[in-house]
Amino acid sequence: MNLTGKRILITGSEGFIGAALQERLQKLGYKVSGYDIAKGDDIADAEKLEKIVRKKFDVIYHLAGFSGSNKSNSDVQKCFGLNSIATANLIKLILEYSPKTKLILSGSRLEYGKPQYLPVDENHPTTPNSAYGISKLASTQLALVFARSHNLKTTIFRTSNVYGPHKKGSFKGYNVINYFIDEAKKGNTLTVFGDGKQTRDYIYIEDLVEAFVKGLQKEADGQIYNLGYGQPIEFVRMIKSIVKTVGKGKVKFIKWPPDFKGVETGSYVSNIGKIKKDLGFVPKTDFARGIKLTVQNGI
């Protein structure tokens, strides 16, 4: 699908992923518009959202929403309002006013909950253990329901932990690598809950954006793709690598706080076989290089 020169909307365009995606799409020749709370555009404002959808974009990347699994359990109504309800409104408006628009939805690995096996593929059971995970799962399932019943053109990415160079340092609670790098540069203490032996799958921002672009350019309607690097990294290794690369900061181990322990999903790694096969996506930036690039080129 060649959409060069066509019109694209990104909700959450001022965020870490949205800003990087917008820059990449513009370089490729797409006409990109942004919708973000930082610009006064509230994703929960159905009336304002209707006005923007009526402009009939060729593609809408839906990134805006509530972030943070721990925080979500203490503000369930806001979490579902910004994630599930807002996505439902967006889908309704697309079908009513711009049915040819393709929706690319940013989901989350937390839709799976605590993995029953590793690596996690797209057939893994979805049993989220936080309001955030449930709200994201509701959004992706809604998109799939309307893909089947109303021919909504949609592609869903269940993303793993993303990191990379960034202009803003406000990641506490939902982007752990960027947050820890910013803290290490200040010489602060980086806290590890438990022994830090749980693994995560970290993907560099340029690789994630590349996958998002492939979702735009290739026929992938009605599909869910796990999006990560596909290799497990122990949390403690991640944090020690940051301190070593930055050359500042200290590591402190503490017991798991009860509220964080309640939403902890344990070790995770993505099976990215499907996205490799269907979209030809292969991540290029390994963990060590990604950390170096983020430290060198971040704020």
pLDDT at residue 218, as a whole number: 85
pLDDT digits 0-9 by tens, 236-281: 999 999 999 999 999 999 999 887 887 788 899 999 999 999 999 9
Show Cβ contacts of residue 38 under 8 Å, excluding neighbours closer than 6 positions: 14
Average pLDDT value for the chain: 94
Global pTM? 0.94
Class of the domain covering 7-165+204-230+269-285: alpha beta
pLDDT band at 170 (very low <50, low <70, confident <90, very high): low
Q: Which of 2-16, 59-73, 76-90, 206-220 has the lowest mean pLDDT?
A: 2-16
pLDDT of the residue at 259 = 79
Strands (E), the chain: 7-11, 31-35, 59-62, 102-108, 153-159, 161-163, 189-193, 199-200, 202-204, 223-227, 233-234, 250-254
| pLDDT band at 172; cut points 50, 70, 90 | low
3-state secondary structure of 163: strand
Domain boundaries, the chain: 7-165+204-230+269-285
pLDDT for 33 equals 98
